[in-house]
Structure 1
């Protein structure tokens, strides 16, 4: 992707093209998921689940360039903001799980860039399986996990 001594404009074009292709890949993966609810989040997991490709030098360069020039990552930023807006809709309590899953995958991606050997295959599969399972949690399951607010014991709300 980045050739040694490439002019900045060429590097910027490469970064922007990579990010646009990633956004398209996410769309294709989500569209191919037979279960619509959580499909975008499972696509995100799949797209960022390969430690080897996450840790290659192009990904490190991509991260450094995108941090230094966020305008190049506009398509991914827009996608995440659109998904966040949908996920943070109060009418859909489990939507927030999508935000958490994507943040976890972003963290795993950066972790892979820094140390691709941090998790062995078994540990990584366990992480991916849990994140994928979270994308299928229903509103009722989330309410049960969080528990109902504890009721005050009777008589404790009166002055002594």
Structure 2
């Protein structure tokens, strides 16, 4: 009996591994390099095994999107739970979670891959737009000020700078930037 027949099946672990590999390839080589063959080979699974979990490239990218957005939502909820001030709470949480992504190399790499994929895949951009619109609706009473919008857009700029590694920000300057943006949500 082959080793694969004796090995315990762990579909969630395999799915996660495939998503991680797709994110790594996208962030290191670009979304065009995320092919089913490349992901299967890098993950050490057969193409048929990959297709068992993700029947194509877009479902694989959707799997990456779902995983990262679930983690992002959890981090946002935790930040918001710890913040006693309702006004601007979502925007502060969004800013803090985005600013902290850089400190988690794996998650940062995954977001870099997904961000690059969103630039090329209208379907993923639409999913992100729907996520943003839903949060704007959810927090219309507390985070609909122009200042809150400026903070979220600045957070997106910080995110893009981190993902593309196109701007070096001194740690003290970054801390001051985040503090100033947090203050804007309280005004």
TM-score scaled to structure 1, two decimals? 0.68
Equivalent runs, 1:4-153 vs 2, <5 Å: 5-6=38-39, 8=57, 9-50=59-100, 51-53=102-104, 56-72=108-124, 76-84=128-136, 95-115=145-165, 118-137=168-187
Equivalent residues, number: 135
Q: Offset at 1:57?
A: 2.9
Provide the rounded CA distance (Å) in 1 between the counterparts of 2:71 and 2:108.
17
Tell me which residue corresponds to 1:144: none
Which segments of 5 or more consecutive residues in structure 2 lack a partner in the other structure? 1-19, 26-37, 40-55
TM-score scaled to structure 2, two decimals? 0.59
Q: Secondary structure at the match of 2:186?
A: coil
Q: Offset at 1:36?
A: 1.2
Higher Rg of the two aligned structures: 1
Cα-Cα RMSD: 3.1
**Greater fraction helix:** 2
Which segments of 5 or more consecutive residues in structure 1 lack a partner in the other structure? 138-160
